[in-house]
Structure formats: structure tokens, C-alpha cells
Amino acid sequence: MTREIIDPEVFFNATGCLRNLSSADMGRQTMRNYPGLIDSVMTYAQNCVASNRPDDKSVENCICILHNLSYRLDAEVPNKYTQLNHMARSVYMDKTLTGCFNSRSGKMENDEYGVPLPEEDFKPKGPSWLYHSDAIRTYLSLMDQSKKDATLEACAGALQNLTASRGLMSNAMSQLIGLKEKGLPRIARLLQSNSSEVVRSGASLLSNMSRHPVLHKTMAHQVLPDVSRLLSFQSGNTNSYGEIMTSACYTLRNLIMSNPHLGKSYLTSNMLNNVVSLCRNGSCPKAAEAARLLLTDLWSNRELQSMLKQVRRMLLLLG
């Protein structure tokens, strides 16, 4: 239907109702299967982006619906990656049985599957919209254009959901976001938001993406400055503090250990002092564990160890 036929208030209230329903497990699964629902919500959001109306009040509802419907998508909805995950596990098991696997890791690595990624649907329908490149572009465009924190958080949250699994979907979505669509600078800008929830969603998304070695070089150059600033200056008086610090530690750990020489310039005394303090933070156990793992890995690298000793001596002198 054209915009002129729909009463804006009716549409806003209807999408608000669907937004609430989509947050429940039963509602989420029913809504994914309802013919035309995802198509309509996605089309409305895309039309608003195309007509430079990113903060139309119904856009927030639409993106929040899509965010909720993408939750656990890889686990709950059969998709193009499901069969490939089974194939990848078979490849991995064959390599393991013949001894042809990476001795550094006892787990299957996303970038070593050896299975080609599937082609996209030319005309997506229903749940296939949720992981289509057109949807990714819509979320990234809204990150550029929208001034509303709830919309920004939902865009990052939808991408976070798509990259959360340990399977091929996470690998493919991360490459699509970071390499093909060049979305990293837009995600990094979220870390500078005054909204702790926007920062949390952006930091969690980057943590998911940093698990894939194919992205390490690009991410190190484009997001390390903002992630290291989080660990240096982030205030501990927000509800999201623990989650933000956990994500930042894991991202920093993955990126610096992949390129210690580049990462050295970001290991400031202020940041390291904050990470050490985080290790002792009993109110954020997950963040404390992430900080301990970060420091352990940094200390295990000879190139970084000498620098850490110098920083340690400096901190001791400063008292």
C-alpha cells in the first residue's frame, strides 16, 4: 500500500504493538512465519531511508521489530547456512581424524571451513530478508542518518544478532558488514555516543566480528582507536558498564594479538591501569574475567612483554 493510503497514527500504533509481540519467544516465531509481515516492515524502513526520513516515528518500531526477529535466527530458522554448517563440521571432522588440523586450536575456526558461502536470493521473502545484504545496507544507512538512540541501538542490535553465532552465518555477516559494505567506521562512531545502550550494542557487535581472523587487519586500523578509548575513559556509573568493558576487552585481545606491532601504540598506561583495576572489580565478574584474559595474552607475547614491564614500572613510580 502507498503511504497516502495508510493513516500514520494507525501504522505507528500497529507497529508498536508488533514491536512488543516480537520480544517474546512465541511472538517472534509466529511473526517470522506470517506471510508478508517482514517484507512490509523492511520495505517501510527502506522507503523512509530512501526518502530521507530516518527519524520517522514508525521507523524506530520497524527496526526494533527486525532486531527482535533476528534474535537467535541462525538457531531457530532453517536458512542457507544451516546445511553448510553441517558440511563444514564434516570437513573439520575429516581433517581432525587424519591429523590435518591447526594444532594451535582444538575448535573449528570459522575462516577455515573450506565451504563456499551461498549466493543471496535475488528477491528475498520472509525470514530471508533478515540476513540479506539489502537489510544490512538499511541498518548501516540508518546509523549514518538517524539521530534517535533507540533506532541506532536497534540497528546495531540486529547486526549483533546476525554475528552472534559460532557458525557460517556469523562469518558471512561479519565479512558483509566489515568488508563489502565498509560499515566499520559507522559502528565505531556508536562507541562515542552519550547513550550507554548504543555504546553497548556497538561494542558487542565489534566483539562478535573480531572473532573472525579475515577481518582482523581491517578492524585493527578502523576500530582499535575507539575501542582502546573505551577502556581508557569509560565511566563505571552506567548499567551497561560491565557488558561494554567485557566486549571491549575481547575485541582488543583479538585484534592486538593478531598484530602486536600495530597494537603496541594503543597500550597506554592509563588504559592498562584501568584494565588491571577491572580485574579486581567484583561487581562485574564477566568483565573481570575478560580483562584477566587480555592481560594474560598480552604478557605471553614477547614483543609486548617488555613494553608492559616499562608501563608497570611507571605505574609503580606514580604510586
Main-chain dihedrals φ then ψ at residue 219, nearest 5 degrees: -65, -40
Give the residue from 30, 28, 21 showing the smallest Cα distance to 61: 21
Q: Mean pLDDT throughout 125-129?
A: 93
Side chain identity, residue 120: E
pLDDT at 304: 86
Round the average pLDDT of the chain to a whole number and report it: 86
- Between residues 312 and 282, which one has the greater pLDDT? 282
| Site of grid cell 530521507 | 52
Planar angle of CA 91, 97, 100, nearest 5 degrees: 70
pLDDT at 209 over 80: yes
pLDDT surpassing 60 at residue 111: no
According to DSSP H, which parts of the chain are helical? 8-21, 25-33, 37-50, 57-69, 73-76, 80-97, 133-145, 149-162, 168-175, 184-190, 196-209, 216-233, 241-258, 260-263, 269-279, 285-300, 302-318
Q: Which letter, b or e, does each residue of 95-108 get, where b requires 16 or more Cβ atoms within 10 Å of its Cβ?
A: eeeeeebeeeeeeb
> In this structure, is the dihedral angle defined by the CA atoms of residues 14, 152, 201 and 185, taken in order, positive or negative?
positive
Band (pLDDT 50/70/90 cuts) for residue 15 is: very high
Residue 116, pLDDT above cutoff 80? no
pTM: 0.88
- Say whether pLDDT at 90 is over 70: no
Which tens digit of pLDDT belongs to each residue from 63-79? 999 999 999 998 888 77
Helix/strand/coil percent split, the chain, to 5:
75, 0, 25
Instruction: Tell me what the mean pLDDT of segment 28-50 comes to.
Output: 96
* Percentage with pLDDT > 90 across the chain: 62
Q: Which residue has the higher pLDDT, 116 or 195?
A: 195
Mapped onto helix, strand or coil, the DSSP state of residue 237 is coil
Top pLDDT among 306 and 197 is at: 197
CA distances from 214 to 140, 157, 159, 219, 258 (A): 21, 22, 18, 10, 10
